Chain A
C-alpha cells in the first residue's frame, strides 16, 4: 500500500514540525484558554445551570470549540506548503495522489489530541471533573478527535484554494465563530430564542458538545431529556456528520491537490 506508506511519511514530517514549532500550538490555544477564563470567572456567575456547576457544563463546549478551530490548522498547514512550493515538489514525485492530504489530516489528529490534553488540564484546574466511567471518557475523547479529523478534510479543501496562509484565519473565523456560538457550547440551547434555538439544536457542534458532555457525566442529574431529534441522538448524529464530511470532502481535497499550482 504505497498510499499508506506515503501518507505516513508526510504525517511523520508534520509531527516533527509540531515538535519544532511548539509556539504555534500555544498561540492557537490562547483563544480557548481565554474562553475558559472568561466564561468560568466572568460570565459564569450569571449563567445558571439548574442543579449543577457551570464550569463542569462549560468544558465540553470548550473541547468542541477547540477541535473545530483546531481543524483550521490543516488549512493553514496546506496553504503554507502551497506557498513554499512544497506541494509542487510533492506533485513532481512518484507518490500516491491522496497521500499529502491524507498524511496532513492524520497528523493533525495528533495535533488536536495534544490540544485536547492541554485543554483538559486547564479544565481540571478550574474545577471540571470526569464523572462518568473510563470507557465513556475514552469514547468522548475519540468522538472529539474523529469529528476534528472529519472537519480537517473540509479545511484541507480551503487550504488548497486560498491565495495565502494568512487568509485562512479570516476566512474561517466568520464561519466558525457562529458555528461554535449558535450552539449549546456555552449556554444550554433551551435558553435561546426561536430560530436560533432550532439552529443550535441541529448544529453538529451542539450534538458533539452534548454527546461529550453526557459521556463525561457533566450534565447535572435531573436535566430534562432534550426535545429535538439531533440532541436525543447526539452521538449518532455527530458521527453521521463526520462520516458525511469525509465522504464528500476527501475526494474534493484530493482533486484540488492534483490541480494546485503555486502562484
Chain B
C-alpha cells in the first residue's frame, strides 16, 4: 500500500477506497480530498455509498482496500486518535430516548474525556443554541424527530472537533429547522472546522458545500463547485406531463428543438423532461407546438434542476431509489 506524504492543507483525504458487502460493492475506488476549513458535499441517491464512505472515514468500518486520513491520521492505523478529532452525526439520530437532552449530551461529553461539570456546561450551551432549553429535562422519547436530530447534531459538535461528519443531517427536518441547522454548520466552518456532509439534495450541497462530489454506485462520477455542476446540468428544466402515453414520441421531437441537454422520458408517468437554456421562450414555443399538434397535456412547467437531472446528465440513468429495481 502506498502511503502518501502528509498534506497539512487537507483535513480529509481518501484514495481508492473499496468496500464490499458480499455481492454488493458499496464503495468502488472512492477518492476524496477536503482542504482544512472547507465543506465537502457528498451528493448521491439512496444506496450510492454515502453512509459507507462516512463509516470508513469515522473508523466504524475498515475498507477492503485503499487508505484514508483524517487530520493527517490514518483511520485504520490510528482509529483512537482519529476519534478524538472528529464529531459524527449519523444518518439516523443515535440518541438514548429514555435520557433527557442534557443527560444524553453530558454522557457524550464524558466519553470525549471531559469532566462531568465541563460536559454539563457544554451540553447546556448547545441546548440553548439549538433553542431546546425548555425541553432540556424531558426524556427524548417525547421529542419530535427534528428535535432528536438536533440533539444528535449537538452531540457531534459537543467537543468542538476539528472535523465533522454529518450523514444526511437535514433529512426529515422541516424547512425552518433545516435553515437553523445550516446556520449552525456555517458557524462552525467560520471557526475553521472542516465538514464532510452527505445529502440527497442538490440544494443543500449548493447552500453549504465548497466542493461537491457526486457519487453513484460507490464511485465519484463528478466533482466541482455547485456552479460548475449546475452549468453542466443546465439551468432550468421543462417538464411535460401528457394525458396519453402514446404521444411521447411526438412530444420528444417537439422538445428536442429547445433542448440544451439530453431529453429524459419517464414512460409510466407519461413525462417528458428536458433541460432548456432560456426557460420562458422554450415554454411558450413548446406550448404552441403542442397545441398545433393537438396533443393533450395534463401539466407543463419549468423547474430548477434536481439531483435526478444531475444523474440523468452524468450517468444517463435515473437515480435509483433503494428497494425499487
Asked if B108 and A86 sit within 8 Å, CB to CB, the answer is no
B96 at the interface (CB under 8 A from A): yes
A261 to B52, CA, bound (A): 11
Asked if B98 and A17 sit within 8 Å, CB to CB, the answer is yes
Q: Which of B6-14, B87-95, B239-247, B268-276 contacts A (4 or more CB under 8 A)?
A: B87-95
B266 at the interface (CB under 8 A from A): no
A171 at the interface (CB under 8 A from B): no
Asked if B94 and A88 sit within 8 Å, CB to CB, the answer is yes
Asked if B60 and A86 sit within 8 Å, CB to CB, the answer is no
Residues 169-207 of A contacting B (Cβ, < 8 Å) = none
**Residue numbers in A under 8 Å from B84 (CB-CB):** 94
Asked if B107 and A261 sit within 8 Å, CB to CB, the answer is no
B44 at the interface (CB under 8 A from A): no
Asked if B83 and A13 sit within 8 Å, CB to CB, the answer is no
Asked if B113 and A92 sit within 8 Å, CB to CB, the answer is no
A144 to chain B, nearest CB (A): 27
B198 at the interface (CB under 8 A from A): no
A115 to chain B, nearest CB (A): 19
Residues 7-52 of A contacting B (Cβ, < 8 Å) = 9-10, 12-13, 16-17, 20-21
Q: Number of A interface residues, CB 8 Å?
A: 23
Question: Looking across the interface, which residue of chain B has its beta carbon closest to that of A258?
Answer: B79
Known: A2-B113, A16-B99, A93-B108. A261 touches B90 (CB 8 A): no
**Residue numbers in B under 8 Å from A9 (CB-CB):** 107, 110-111
A2 to B115, CA, bound (A): 12
Asked if B61 and A92 sit within 8 Å, CB to CB, the answer is no
Known: A13-B99, A16-B99. A90 touches B111 (CB 8 A): yes
B194 at the interface (CB under 8 A from A): no
Q: Number of B interface residues, CB 8 Å?
A: 29
**Residue numbers in B under 8 Å from A88 (CB-CB):** 55, 60, 90, 94
Asked if A92 and B107 sit within 8 Å, CB to CB, the answer is no
A9 to B83, CA, bound (A): 18
**Residue numbers in B under 8 Å from A91 (CB-CB):** 59-60
**Residue numbers in B under 8 Å from A16 (CB-CB):** 98-99, 103
A172 to B59, CA, bound (A): 32
Contact with A along B15-41 (1 / 0, CB 8 A): 000000000000000000000000000
A120 to B158, CA, bound (A): 44
A97 to chain B, nearest CB (A): 8
Residue of B84, B107, B139, B155 contacting most chain A CB atoms (<10 Å): B107
A127 at the interface (CB under 8 A from B): no
Q: Which of A89, A94, A95 contacts B90 (CB 8 A)?
A: A89
Asked if B92 and A85 sit within 8 Å, CB to CB, the answer is yes
- 10 residue pairs, one from A and one from B, having the closest CB atoms: A85-B94, A94-B84, A89-B94, A94-B83, A92-B88, A9-B110, A20-B98, A95-B111, A93-B111, A17-B98
Apart from the given pairs A9-B111, A89-B90, A89-B94, 6 other A-B contacts in the complex at a CB distance below 8 Å: A13-B99, A16-B99, A85-B94, A88-B60, A89-B88, A93-B111
